[in-house]
Structure 1
Amino acid sequence: MEVAVVSPLVAPPPASWRDEAASLLRLSGPLVGSNLLQMAIAAVDVIFVARLGSRDLAAATLGAFMFNLAVFALIGLTGAAAPLIAAELGRRAHAVREVRRSFRMALWVGLFCSAPVMILLSQGEALLRLAGQDAEVSRLAGGFLWVILIGMPLAVGAGVMRTAAAALGRPGWTFLVTGLALALDILGNWAFIYGHLGAPAMGLDGSALANVLSFAVMTLAYAIILLCDPRLRKYRLLGYWWRLDWPRARDVLRLGLPIAATWTFEAGLFGGAAVLMGLIGIEEVAAHAIALNIAAFAFQLPFGIAQAATIRVGMAFGAADPQWIRRAGNVALVLGIGIMAATALIMWSIPDALIRIYLDPGRTDNEAVATLARRFLAVASIFQLADGAQAVAAGVLRGLQDTRFPMIIALFGYWAIGFGSSVWLGFFTPLAGVGVWWGLAAGLAMVAVLLAARWRARERLGLLPEAILARS
């Protein structure tokens, strides 16, 4: 029998907007850093594989896209643990037992759902051939997937433990563990791709194996942290790991499936934009990749704030404190939009300096790509505000355990408005590639406006805890 223990680890609600901002920054800072390091891991893989040749790079790009999209969706699914754990902390009563149940069932749901995804992606070569990809590239990508799929359950498990550590007020571990994974990924790529340190020269498959090694070490590191950290071990998160709790599993699926779908819709929009660029021209594809990579690095800032906002609003939701809910959500929105305003100014002011990280704009053979990338970044500098707003607005709504309708907003905004506008502006106006980017901006702006409106109407829509609505 599980013992009901009241948690002594929850701080009282912040007394002011400044206190809430300080709490949000303490929580979001390590999460932002961890997200940036995760981006660096992907960049390291590209740098090492690129030296093998264009076919290996193409195969790694396709294989990694399929794997990362699947893992991203699975981590979104298990990310339901964040608002559930935060709400239990806000309620305070029996938080140890309830937090453990949410963690355990998020872990089980993630591992169960990994199985069919792994079976599907194990047929990666056939799927890529059906999509019309080059036969040799498809074969290489299929082999890459066979190796890296070993790490999928490890990646999902590490993601759940990362979420729990952050929700329980120990986000600094996420930064340190991801930094360790980056170091191991660099070493593993160097050793397994080229045959150093006595390892066989595995080529492309060596990069996949390096990722599996990083996932394994991350999972082990998080498990040790959960067992040894004085604050986290009080929750005994790995205790009773074999017990199934169907009501809590349904809660995870109820909240998590819409989160996974929402994240897939957004990632799919940018993947679809890359396909459109391929229909326009080779230079457009290269410029799109550069501009999108820069924008993706900037996006990690509001994404980390959104992750922290889910926890802060979730705690206020559990405490049934309407003032804390309002303060936590609004502080997160202001901070997220403000930071993206700063990144927008940087993109607008020094695009050439950013592009120079990827290529030399002064070279004649790079001139066309650099010019297009500069134009794309000009559009990106404008939609940064919308991107930050939609990310944080989705995060604060997740804190209210509101995920289903935001998923519908995402589907409509990203695909009906965003992708539809990209097709029209890219192919039926002279804007071409720039039009595709304006379509992305339109989709992000629509989602941002609708999610922000839903946040503002939270009481009227009945999104607040029943205890608050009963008092209204």
Structure 2
Amino acid sequence: MQITKQNFFKNELMAIAYIAIPIAFSQLCQMAMGVTDTILLGHVNKETLAVGGLTTNIFFSICIIFQSALSAAAILIAQNMGAKKIKEISKVYWTTYVFGLLLCIPCFFILYHSSTILQWNGEHDQEILTQSRHFMVILLWGMPPVIAGTGLIRVILPALNASKILLQITPITAIINGLLNAAFIYGLWGAPKMGLYGSALGTTIALWLSTFILIEVAHCKKDLKQYLYPFAIDLSLLKPLAKLGLPICVGAAAEILLFLFANFNATKLGTDALAAHQIAISFATLVFMIPLAISQAANVRVSYWVGAQKPYRAKKSGFLTVGLSAFIMTFICSIVVIFPYFVVRLSLDTTSPDNANTVIIAAAIIQIVGLFQIVDGIQTVAMGALRGLKDTTIPMILALISFWGVGYTLSVWFAFNKHWGAPGLWAGMGIGLGVIAFLSTTRFYFLTKNPKKMLQRALK
């Protein structure tokens, strides 16, 4: 019996790694696209960098919120994989394209009025607002492939045990994005010199190309054709996709907007605090790629075992992914807490007297972020495991309470009422993450306590 358990954990760890590693790598490549764009725009002038960087950040933040709803497709596909219902998978796949296009409608409306978000942030310079609006109008043409194209392919490939395609394609698309941005910003290789708007055009074309490449490669794989064909759209699947996906979307919005508004609040604390905050958020975002990838693996593996009607394995897999994330993030935390200045030194000249105050603030924040990463890793993966049980509505409510009722409230109170500044912003958010980590893990425990009820609920 003991050997069986050991074999299960060994095999499950390998399955998790097979899913998570390519996802994490592809996410890092996507981040590299943003860094490349920033570097290219920065060589034009700082005003161009500010407008392009801020508008692009808003674009992808909002797109990711809506894109998260497509995780519903991964849940349904993984369940069908576990249940060996191969013929049902193509229906889910093709119908999710329709679901993705429907999600583009509210996303388009929000992004089209993105200048309002900048005004909320206190930006009243009409020239900047106008440039940002024109930049966004170009980027909007790239929204459908982000949500209904690349977004969909990236969630269904792990469910089909084909994550390795992301390892092969994502680096290529990152290079294409860099070349197109350089061409249209600076007028290279016969392209028109468009400066700021060249970045928007280059990114938009790259988004379409990356979508076509990913879809083409996926559809050309012989072992995937049995899942992706025949072409079949079943509109009755829109209801379960929406029922699962929309709460995930709201939960993602609660978390992403928490950090977006923390960024807005950091601008009120002065240049040194804002610079320190940006260093911290860049580091936190980079490290977050690890639990985010494990979370998607938890989603797929728990859904798979539910579909196979093996509730004990679903439970073990869920807790295995949570424990794995906690272990990795604790290791990272120990390094960061002991060597905070090393992290700061990666982004800032710590020897310059002009940066002395920023370095002190950044080091304090980085230590908080180190502790913060543990609970963030736990909550992210626990939420992924809950999605594997088709539990999305209650976790959405827990996320709203934790991120905004607790996290945002304490963040503002610590920063401004207690005068803790930027470290206070992060301390408040960390407590909010701690609350959702406890609540989501506890909920997963109780939902899996009775295997029979868990299956009945998850297979509805």
Aligned match for 1:435, one of 424, 441, 444: 424
Query: Which residue does 2:41 correspond to in 1?
Result: 49
Q: How does 1:108-187 map to 2 (within 5 A)?
A: 108-125=98-115, 128-129=118-119, 132-133=122-123, 134-156=125-147, 157-187=149-179
Q: Which amino acid aligns with 1:110?
A: G
Change (3 A) 1:429 1:128: closer
Question: Are 2:396 and 1:414 equivalent residues in the alignment?
Answer: no
Query: Which residue does 2:284 correspond to in 1?
Result: 295
Aligned match for 1:445, one of 428, 434, 439: 434
Between 1:388-397 and 1:106-115, the stretch displaced more is 106-115
Between 1:41-50 and 1:142-151, the stretch displaced more is 41-50
Query: Which residue does 2:91 correspond to in 1?
Result: 101
Distance in structure 2 (CA, Å) of the matches to 1:205 and 1:257: 33
Question: Are 2:180 and 1:191 equivalent residues in the alignment?
Answer: no
Query: Secondary structure of the equivalent of 1:201?
Result: coil
Check whether the contact 2:138–2:201 (CA below 8 A) recurs between aligned residues. Answer: yes
Aligned match for 2:239, one of 224, 231, 250: 250
CA deviations 1:114-146 (Å, max 9, x no partner) are 133224422434653465412121111111111
Higher helix fraction: Structure 1 or Structure 2?
A: 2
Query: Which residue does 1:4 correspond to in 2?
Result: none
How far 1:203 sits from its partner (Å)? 0.9
Check whether the contact 1:321–1:468 (CA below 8 A) recurs between aligned residues. Answer: no
Query: Secondary structure of the equivalent of 1:16?
Result: helix
CA deviations 1:55-91 (Å, max 9, x no partner) are 2222123311221122101211112111110011111
Distance in structure 2 (CA, Å) of the matches to 1:318 and 1:268: 33
Check whether the contact 1:90–1:319 (CA below 8 A) recurs between aligned residues. Answer: yes
Question: Are 2:71 and 1:58 equivalent residues in the alignment?
Answer: no
Question: Are 2:251 and 1:262 equivalent residues in the alignment?
Answer: yes
Check whether the contact 1:75–1:159 (CA below 8 A) recurs between aligned residues. Answer: yes
TM-score, normalization: structure 1? 0.92
The size of the alignment, in residue pairs, is 453
Query: Which portions of structure 1, spanning 4 or more consecutive aligned residues, are displaced by more than 6 angstroms?
Result: 467-470
Question: Are 2:320 and 1:328 equivalent residues in the alignment?
Answer: no
Distance in structure 2 (CA, Å) of the matches to 1:188 and 1:64: 16
Q: Which amino acid aligns with 1:247?
A: S
Question: Are 2:199 and 1:210 equivalent residues in the alignment?
Answer: no
Query: Which residue does 1:24 correspond to in 2?
Result: 16
Between 1:198-207 and 1:252-261, the stretch displaced more is 198-207
Query: Which residue does 2:70 correspond to in 1?
Result: 78
Distance in structure 1 (CA, Å) of the matches to 2:389 and 2:295: 13
Distance in structure 1 (CA, Å) of the matches to 2:252 and 2:116: 25
Aligned match for 2:339, one of 343, 347, 350: 350
Question: Are 2:271 and 1:271 equivalent residues in the alignment?
Answer: no
Point out where structure 2 has 5 or more consecutive residues left out of the alignment. Answer: none
How far 1:463 sits from its partner (Å)? 6.5
Query: Which residue does 1:39 correspond to in 2?
Result: 31
Point out where structure 1 has 5 or more consecutive residues left out of the alignment. Answer: 1-12
Query: Which residue does 1:228 correspond to in 2?
Result: 220
Question: Are 2:276 and 1:282 equivalent residues in the alignment?
Answer: no
How far 1:191 sits from its partner (Å)? 1.2
Check whether the contact 1:14–1:20 (CA below 8 A) recurs between aligned residues. Answer: no
Change (3 A) 1:131 1:194: same
Query: Secondary structure of the equivalent of 1:465?
Result: helix
CA deviations 1:271-320 (Å, max 9, x no partner) are 11112211221211111011110011000001000001100000011112
Q: Which amino acid aligns with 1:148?
A: L
Q: Which amino acid aligns with 2:283?
A: I
CA deviations 1:230-274 (Å, max 9, x no partner) are 21112234x426x3x232111111010011111111011111111
**Percent of aligned positions with the same letter in both sequences?**
30
Distance in structure 2 (CA, Å) of the matches to 1:467 and 1:142: 46
Distance in structure 2 (CA, Å) of the matches to 1:467 and 1:293: 39
Question: Are 2:389 and 1:400 equivalent residues in the alignment?
Answer: yes
Change (3 A) 1:467 1:393: closer
Question: Are 2:369 and 1:380 equivalent residues in the alignment?
Answer: yes
Q: Which amino acid aligns with 1:276?
A: N
Q: Which amino acid aligns with 2:38?
A: V
Query: Secondary structure of the equivalent of 2:454?
Result: coil
Check whether the contact 1:402–1:463 (CA below 8 A) recurs between aligned residues. Answer: no
How far 1:47 sits from its partner (Å)? 1.5
Query: Which residue does 2:300 correspond to in 1?
Result: 311
How far 1:14 sits from its partner (Å)? 9.5
- Superposition CA RMSD, Å: 2.1
Query: Which residue does 2:59 correspond to in 1?
Result: 67
How far 1:19 sits from its partner (Å)? 1.4
How far 1:349 sits from its partner (Å)? 3.0
How far 1:417 sits from its partner (Å)? 0.5
Distance in structure 2 (CA, Å) of the matches to 1:62 and 1:469: 43
